[in-house]
């Protein structure tokens, strides 16, 4: 009997290890596959009416991406392009262009770090296999080790390791979104012209949010903010966001491998007219959405703004752990 239990344990361990390997392969292949397809994203908010967006997606291989929104009307014309160095998002209805660093992880060391973090914070369960857009996919579920609730479900193409479908759950275990490819065609690398992955000269925008002007600060010198937060979040990067000479914005980005948690600190006094409440000795304003919770408070002439997918009953715990 003991031998059977031991064998089962070894078997389950080896299966779980192979699933992390699959996830690592997914991250390694991301951006290297050339394809085009139609992606449907469904957002399940609290209204009970699913919100659907449809995008035409082109992966050019060699870390190039173009995503065009076809629906809903308020996002029609939105384009995201990524050339492996920077990601540009154009929103015509807001007249805005955002430039940030590439969304691809094209660094093996960073992928390994990410996988280690996922291993630390999530269990991976093999759900089985399914067919998505005529492609055979393995289905895996990532479950938080802290809440024991599902976080992400991925349908991975068994041949290409491309994610064909993903279901995202919030920290309270509620399904909040589903994205899947209704059709997909793999192409040879360098099939698409480079112009597809460059900004269109006809784009009209009033203002630009530019991440490259953010100044990255060395984490080693950090003393006033915690490097680690509950639920396995670790501080990934710190940026100084230049606004004006007299205004300072710090951006602390934490990750647990899958989710991101952001803390902003500024010397500007942001007035808030909504009702404030006290959580764990911090008096501030709490705002909730299906995707995240945010809490803004003031302390010692600094304004802090914490945002992330934190369970409601754990906000106090996070707030208490921010300052070492």
Query: Which residues are near another protein by CB under 8 A?
Result: 26-27, 30-31, 39, 41-43, 45, 51, 53, 55, 65, 74-75, 78, 82, 89, 91, 93-94, 98, 100-101, 103-105, 110, 114, 152, 154, 163, 166, 168, 176-177, 179, 209, 211, 241, 251, 258-260, 262, 264, 268, 270-273, 289-292, 294, 296, 305, 307-308
Output the smallest distance, CB 14 to another protein, in A. Answer: 24
Q: Which is nearer to another protein, 282 or 292 (CB)?
A: 292
Output the smallest distance, CB 183 to another protein, in A. Answer: 17
Q: At 188, list the tokens.
A: 């040879």
Q: Which is nearer to another protein, 31 or 60 (CB)?
A: 31
Q: Which is nearer to another protein, 13 or 269 (CB)?
A: 269
Q: Which is nearer to another protein, 114 or 135 (CB)?
A: 114
Output the smallest distance, CB 160 to another protein, in A. Answer: 13
Which of 52, 51, 57 has its CA nearest to residue 39? Answer: 57
Q: Which is nearer to another protein, 12 or 289 (CB)?
A: 289
**Three-class SS string for 177-245?**
EEEEEEEEEECCCCCCCHHHHCCCCCCCCCEEEEHHHCEEECHHHCCCCCCEECCCEEEEEEEEEEEEC
Do 214 and 251 touch, CB atoms closer than 8 A? Answer: yes
**Three-class SS string for 251-318?**
EEEEECCCCEEEEEEECCCCCCCCCCEEECCEEEEEEECCCCEEEEEEECCEEEEEEECCCHHHHHHH
Output the smallest distance, CB 30 to another protein, in A. Answer: 6
Dihedral of the alpha carbons of 140, 145, 150, 155, in degrees to the nearest 10: -20
Output the smallest distance, CB 51 to another protein, in A. Answer: 5
């Amino acid at each position: 009997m003991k031998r059977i239990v031991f064998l089962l344990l070894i078997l389950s361990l080896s299966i779980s290890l192979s699933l992390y390997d699959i996830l690592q392969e997914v991250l390694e292949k991301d951006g290297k596959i050339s394809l085009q397809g139609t992606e449907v994203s469904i957002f399940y908010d609290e209204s009970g009416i699913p919100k659907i967006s449809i995008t035409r997606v082109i992966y050019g291989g060699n870390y190039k991406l173009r995503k065009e929104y076809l629906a809903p009307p308020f996002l029609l014309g939105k384009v995201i392009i990524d050339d492996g160095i920077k990601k540009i998002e154009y929103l015509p209805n807001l007249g805005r262009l955002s430039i940030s660093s590439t969304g691809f992880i094209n660094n093996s060391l960073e992928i390994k770090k990410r996988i280690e973090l996922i291993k630390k914070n999530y269990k991976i369960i093999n759900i089985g296999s399914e067919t998505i857009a005529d492609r055979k996919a393995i289905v895996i579920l990532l479950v938080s080790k802290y809440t024991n609730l599902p976080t992400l479900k991925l349908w991975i193409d068994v041949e290409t390791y491309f994610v064909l479908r993903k279901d995202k759950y919030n920290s309270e275990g509620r399904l909040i979104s589903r994205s899947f490819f209704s059709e997909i065609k793999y192409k040879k690398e360098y099939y698409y012209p480079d112009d597809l992955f460059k900004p269109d000269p006809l784009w009209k925008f009033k203002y630009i949010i530019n991440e490259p002007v953010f100044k990255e600060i060395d984490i080693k010198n950090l003393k006033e903010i915690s490097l680690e937060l509950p639920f396995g979040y670790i501080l990934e990067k710190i940026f100084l966001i230049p606004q004006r000479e007299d205004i300072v914005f710090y951006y602390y980005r934490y990750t647990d491998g899958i989710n991101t948690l952001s803390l902003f600190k500024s010397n500007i006094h942001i007035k808030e007219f909504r009702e404030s409440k006290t959580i764990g000795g911090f008096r501030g304003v709490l705002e909730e959405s299906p995707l995240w919770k945010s809490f803004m408070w003031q302390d010692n002439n600094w304004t802090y703004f914490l945002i992330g997918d934190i369970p409601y009953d754990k906000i106090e715990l996070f707030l208490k752990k921010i300052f070492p």
